[in-house]
A and B are shown apart, each in its own frame.
Chain A
Amino acid sequence: MAAHDTSKVDAVTGISTTGHEWDGIRELNTPLPRWWLWLFYICIVWGIGYVIAYPAWPLVSSYTRGVLGYASRDQIETDMAALKAQRGEMVARMESASLEEIRNDPKMLEVARALGKAAFGTNCAPCHGQGAQGVSVYPNLNDDQWMWGGSLEQIYQTIQYGIRNEHPDSRQGPMPAFGKDGIIPKADIPIVAAYVVTLSGRKPEGAVDLAKGQKLFAENCASCHGDNGKGNPDVGAPSLTSNIWLYGGDEKAIIETIANGRGGVMPGWAGRLEPATVKALTVYVHTLGGGQ
């Protein structure tokens, strides 16, 4: 050790140091084992190979694609195809089964609800909300009042062809703008509205001639909403006797509805979604709780 630089040897352990010093702390020199060093070199080689083989470097508007032609999108497509194949049997069964059968078979019901929920989340939730709870003028699908009917068949029809769109089978028939189009004189509209309020067992504000209201209702509204205001799902006329008001149930909102009319729309999904998916959606919506 004669020529050895003893200042670089740690006095306590006798191990030489790397010569680096931080705040008086010197680092002991404990070299890596050789195999470890080799692993390090192998990793470098691997890294270079990876960059050549796989997509790696970002370029201005694209990226280096790698000689293997790998793309994660392909993998997704393979996975999706596999998923579809896996579901194939169940989907085929649902396609040939009636809605009633799907709803009454525990296994199909489970699959339909899961499939329907997913389809609802991507296609229907933007309007009706994630839990079909309804948002502003888009109805809540959990409750038991349906403008176009809440049976499996009726819901199926609505989802397939939609409401008030160009499809010939879509639901048609708007609520006319009685005020704007001069069907009911402006002054009489509050009278009809007051009568409508009474249909759901409430008292209108102020004293109004309810008999006149009833007459006006019979003349103008009963053809769709029925004599007793119970509604008619064939023309999308909701019941006026319940606690559920899509466009608001207070007198002011009712006046607004009568004066300017209403005509919500919905797209049809047949042709856009797989037949089995539309069926699943139907069963899902029906089993949210309000199905009839």
Chain B
Amino acid sequence: MSLAEVPQTPDDGDIPLYEARKEIYPQVVHGRFRTIKWIILAITLGIYYFLPFIRWYRGPNAPDQAVLIDLANRRFYFFFIEIWPQELYYVTGLLVIAALVLFLMNAVAGRVWCGYLCPQTVWTDLFYAVERVIEGDRRERMQKASRGMWDLERIAEKILKHTLWLMIAWWTGGAWVLYFADAPTLVRELVTFQAPVVDYVWIAILTFTTYTLAGWMREQVCLYMCPWPRIQAALTDEYALNVMYRYDRGEPRMSAKKAEAARKVHEPAGDCVDCYQCVNVCPTGVDIRNGSQLGCIQCGLCIDACDNVMAKLGRPTGLIAYDTDDNAERRVRHEEPVYRIIRPRTIIYAALIALIGALMLYALTNRNNVGISALHDRNPLFVRLADGAIRNAYTIRVTNKALDARPFRLEVLGLNAPKFEVIGVPQTGANSTLIEAGPDQTRELRVLVTLPKALIAHEKMDVTFRLTDIVDGASATVRDHFFAPEGDYHHKQDEKNVH
């Protein structure tokens, strides 16, 4: 919002209770950035709406949906990746990368996210397009609004527009729930009213939010609700490119005729012809000529609008362009503009992205299908048996991420001749036993390890459990301790000291 339009305190000193909303009627525009925006809109919405239908065969015991969040079974499938709840760090890694990419985009060219990729922008863009098709372009919509007339045609238009909006919104909610269940099945259930109630509730919620946010709230979301413009302002620096009006070239602004006359007599005349095209096309109602401002989502549409005007006038394009304020000042001082895309900030962001990406890739390619964790009994830490031996008990969780049931060998290592027992599982070896774990499942086992008193070397000895997949030899280990009463061990130490 430009300074001139800020409501001033009324003369009696009263403060207005609220800020009246300024109606915005963005005008249609064609050009480079508009085309980019259409393409991104098609790609992002295409992915969002159709991704759940892509199939990915994983074997008989697993779902064949490429992207699926299986809440009931606590699994997340993403093409060849299957994530268990304890592997949520992959998601953390993805989110960290997403944040860094956002920062990097910001360091390179400001609010690229806002202008092109943000769902708020994409859906609002789509809703504006629908509005334009039905109610006409800017001038027509403004006329209709100011007439305030409610003839049949107008009512029909309104109904049509809101119906279309609601349909898009409904489809948005519908696509959302498809990520949480087998999409084709759920679609069938949804249309035959057999789907779980919670699905309809979610569809209703997302229909409502999409319809309200993209249809009614629009730029208000960016101006008042979204934290990113505030964060972005704190993250940016003087080299980040921004959509800006090159005032060094545009001012003093005057009509085309006057400018021509002025140039003839070598008087200063800017290229801005004050046609308001840049303001008319702006989806947030910003006048970019007042400088960078919170309301500007940097969608580049004003660049397209201005370029079209410049082209018609036969002046060079780029009066509004991705540039920096510093460069404008430099040009005023007749210095060369400086562009530094590659600078410590961007290098660090890029390096961090590469690093975390590499780490995740490494973790992912080395991920194995076998997992083991051990939890030592705390209470009691150890048990003395009738014959004086000491026993420790562990809860061992065996994880089989393979999609078929597998036999595993569970061994205890690091202790001298322990007695090893797994509750409910027949013993197969001296310090190992065979166990089976179902497909894509974990199995909890109670494991007892006993040492005769004579073999206790320390009150806290290291012990390792190893789990080996008999089928493919993959293995995992977990370390824990074997505890014994202090007396048993000191007793022996005293003896040693005597010698």
> Which residues of A are interface residues toward B (Cβ below 8 A)?
1, 3-5, 8-9, 13-16, 18-19, 29-37, 103-104, 106, 109-110, 113, 129-131, 133-134, 140, 142-145, 239, 242-244, 287-290
Residues of B383-411 contacting chain A, CB below 8 A: 383-388, 391, 393
B436 to chain A, nearest CB (A): 9
B384 surroundings in chain A (CB, below 8 A):
143, 243-244
A131 surroundings in chain B (CB, below 8 A):
377-380
B302 to chain A, nearest CB (A): 23
Would you list 24 pairs from A and B whose C-beta atoms are within 8 A, ordered by A residue? A3-B11, A8-B13, A9-B8, A9-B9, A14-B6, A29-B9, A29-B15, A34-B19, A35-B217, A109-B423, A131-B377, A131-B379, A133-B380, A140-B383, A142-B383, A145-B386, A239-B386, A242-B386, A243-B384, A289-B383, A289-B421, A289-B446, A289-B448, A290-B385
Say yes or no: A8-B9 contact (C-beta < 8 A), given A31-B16, A133-B380.
Answer: yes
Residue of A nearest to B9 (CB): A16
Task: List the count of A-B residue pairs having beta carbons below 8 Å apart.
Answer: 111
CB pair B383–A1 under 8 Å, yes or no, is no
B364 to chain A, nearest CB (A): 31
B404 to chain A, nearest CB (A): 17
B421 surroundings in chain A (CB, below 8 A):
289
Say yes or no: A16-B8 contact (C-beta < 8 A), given A31-B19, A113-B446.
Answer: yes
A288 surroundings in chain B (CB, below 8 A):
393
CB pair B18–A103 under 8 Å, yes or no, is no
CB pair B385–A243 under 8 Å, yes or no, is yes
Partner of B8, one of A1, A109, A110, A244: A1
CB pair A15–B3 under 8 Å, yes or no, is yes
What is the CA–CA distance of A192 and B209 in the complex, to the nearest angstrom? 85
A149 to chain B, nearest CB (A): 14
Chain B interface residue number, banded: 35 or more
Indicate if B21 sits at the interface (CB-CB under 8 A): yes
What is the CA–CA distance of A106 and B425 in the complex, to the nearest angstrom? 8
B18 surroundings in chain A (CB, below 8 A):
31-34, 36-37
A24 to chain B, nearest CB (A): 20
Partner of A33, one of B6, B19, B383: B19
Which 5 A-B residue pairings sit nearest by Cβ, starting from the closest?
A131-B379, A242-B386, A133-B380, A16-B9, A142-B383
Residue of B nearest to A243 (CB): B388
What is the CA–CA distance of A287 and B378 in the complex, to the nearest angstrom? 16
Residue of A nearest to B3 (CB): A14
What is the CA–CA distance of A163 and B21 in the complex, to the nearest angstrom? 80
Indicate if B224 sits at the interface (CB-CB under 8 A): yes
A8 surroundings in chain B (CB, below 8 A):
9, 13
B17 to chain A, nearest CB (A): 7
Residues of B215-268 contacting chain A, CB below 8 A: 217, 220, 223-224
Indicate if B20 sits at the interface (CB-CB under 8 A): yes
CB pair A129–B379 under 8 Å, yes or no, is yes
A109 surroundings in chain B (CB, below 8 A):
423-424
A3 surroundings in chain B (CB, below 8 A):
11
Indicate if B87 sits at the interface (CB-CB under 8 A): no
A140 to chain B, nearest CB (A): 7
Indicate if B444 sits at the interface (CB-CB under 8 A): yes
Partner of B385, one of A1, A37, A143: A143
Partner of B424, one of A144, A243, A287: A287
A110 surroundings in chain B (CB, below 8 A):
444
Chain B window 12-40, contacts with chain A (Cβ cutoff 8 Å), 1 for yes, 0 for no: 01011111110000000000000000000
What is the CA–CA distance of A33 and B219 in the complex, to the nearest angstrom? 12
CB pair B6–A36 under 8 Å, yes or no, is no
B379 surroundings in chain A (CB, below 8 A):
129-131, 133
B304 to chain A, nearest CB (A): 29
Partner of A4, one of B9, B223, B383, B446: B9
Residues of B416-439 contacting chain A, CB below 8 A: 421, 423-424
B393 surroundings in chain A (CB, below 8 A):
142, 288-289
What is the CA–CA distance of A290 and B443 in the complex, to the nearest angstrom? 22
Residue of B nearest to A108 (CB): B424
What is the CA–CA distance of A134 and B6 in the complex, to the nearest angstrom? 76
A103 surroundings in chain B (CB, below 8 A):
424
B9 surroundings in chain A (CB, below 8 A):
4-5, 8-9, 16, 29
Q: Which of B9, B388, B444 has the most CB of A within 10 A?
A: B9
A273 to chain B, nearest CB (A): 22
What is the CA–CA distance of A6 and B378 in the complex, to the nearest angstrom? 73
CB pair A33–B220 under 8 Å, yes or no, is yes
What is the CA–CA distance of A110 and B18 in the complex, to the nearest angstrom? 62
Residues of B93-118 contacting chain A, CB below 8 A: none
CB pair B224–A142 under 8 Å, yes or no, is no
B120 to chain A, nearest CB (A): 16
CB pair B388–A36 under 8 Å, yes or no, is no
A292 to chain B, nearest CB (A): 11
Say yes or no: A144-B3 contact (C-beta < 8 A), given A37-B17, A109-B424, A287-B446.
Answer: no
Known: A33-B18, A142-B377. 9 other contacts (CB 8 A): A5-B9, A14-B6, A15-B6, A16-B9, A32-B18, A34-B20, A110-B444, A131-B378, A142-B391
B388 surroundings in chain A (CB, below 8 A):
243
What is the CA–CA distance of A19 and B7 in the complex, to the nearest angstrom? 15
A33 surroundings in chain B (CB, below 8 A):
18-19, 21, 220, 223-224
B391 surroundings in chain A (CB, below 8 A):
142-143, 289
CB pair A243–B444 under 8 Å, yes or no, is no
A32 surroundings in chain B (CB, below 8 A):
18-19
Residue of A nearest to B223 (CB): A33
A113 surroundings in chain B (CB, below 8 A):
446
